[in-house]
Structure 1
Amino acid sequence: MKAFRDRLNDCHLSDLGFTGYPFTWDNRRSGDDNVQVRLDRVVCSVAFMEMFPNTSVQHIMIEESDHLALLVKVQEDVRIHTRAEPRSFKFEEMWTKHNDYEDMFQNVWQQQEFEAAGLMVSGTVLKMCPTVGSV
């Protein structure tokens, strides 16, 4: 067992732990001859755990084998992929040089509502604002 643990350390792999019954193998003998041990494990790298920090392992009893099934639920942390603050809108002057810029701008401006930076913005409200409405 020490050699196994040493190889895990050499490869920078960690045991994910588990929930459920503590042993994964049973020799199916009765009484004092019964032997149960945790032979089966799920291991992963640090990089995997950083990508999927909510991963869990569950031991599940099955009738067909002397080993328990291992259910691995790989779940990423959704906070990794979401921003704390919405991105701000950046205007690029080069857009004004596009052939369809004037037509596109007029069409959008005529609409009552349009989407800007993920928010619905009312065109009539913007037209009432002196700095925007005069554009």
Structure 2
Amino acid sequence: MYGDPYHGKMVDIWADIVDFANSDNSPLFCMGDFNELLNANEKFSTTTPIYNRISIFCSIVNDCGLIDLGYNGPAYTWTNRRFSSNPTFQRLDRCLANFEWCRIFPYTNVYHLPLIYEDHAPILAIPTSIKPIRKKQFKFEN
């Protein structure tokens, strides 16, 4: 998924996604740069988020029956790279899935990797259907 960075064609993109998501009950996994926020706290900046766009994005995610899979790692996945003047950090990249995907892959892990060279952080998703086996902690008793 790559959302329109200028937001001019987002209505058409979202209409296609809603049609696709509601076409059947197949597992659905969406990952990428949505260029939208799901929550105002996903932005760190001197400017305020655009609440109307957040509301629209939340409605579309709900209409599609999608769930944000969360993440491990840094909170923000994009920066304007203006570190000395007016830095902006936002979580624009994410992984969304429907209930059927979550039923098949309930232990999917999503990782935001560090922002190093580009303005977007890479995302790594590891779909796992089996609960990871944790090693028992070593305990010593006197």
Asked if the contact 2:110–2:125 (Cα under 8 Å) also holds between the matched residues in 1, the reply is: yes
1:68 aligns with 2:116: no
1:26 and 2:79 aligned: yes
- Tell me the distance in 2 between the aligned counterparts of 1:30 and 1:62: 13
Counterpart CA distance in 2 for 1:63 and 1:37 is: 15
- The 5 Å alignment of 1:94-133 reads none
Q: Specify the code of the residue in structure 1 equivalent to 2:82.
A: R
Contact in 2 for aligned 1:61/1:68 (Cα 8 Å): yes
Instruction: Supply the RMSD in Å over aligned alpha carbons.
Output: 1.3
Runs of 4+ more than 2 Å apart: none
1:74-115 C-alpha deviation (Å, 9 max, x unpaired) = 00126xxxxxxxxxxxxxxxxxxxxxxxxxxxxxxxxxxxxx
Q: CA deviation at 1:63?
A: 2.9
- Structure ID, larger Rg: 1
**Larger relative CO (CA 8 A, sep 6+): 1 or 2?**
2
Tell me how many residue pairs correspond in the alignment: 78
2:68 paired residue number: 15
- Provide structure 2 residue ranges, at least 5 long, that are not aligned to the other structure: 1-53, 132-142
What amino acid does structure 2 have at the position aligned with 1:15? D
Q: Which runs of 5+ in 1 are unaligned?
A: 79-135
TM-score, scaled relative to structure 2: 0.52
Q: Deviations over 1:6-64 (max 9, x none)?
A: 00000100000001000000110123510001111100000000000010100002433
What is the DSSP-based 3-state SS (H/G/I as helix, E as strand, rest coil) of the residue aligned with 1:5?
helix
Does structure 1 residue 53 correspond to structure 2 residue 92? Answer: no
- Map of 1:129 onto structure 2: none
**Higher-helix-fraction structure:** 1
1:44 to 81, 89, 97: 97
SS in 1 for 2:82: coil
Structure 1 distance, partners of 2:102, 2:111, is 17
CA distance in 2, matches of 1:77, 1:53: 8
- Residue type of the partner of 1:73? I
CA distance in 2, matches of 1:3, 1:26: 23
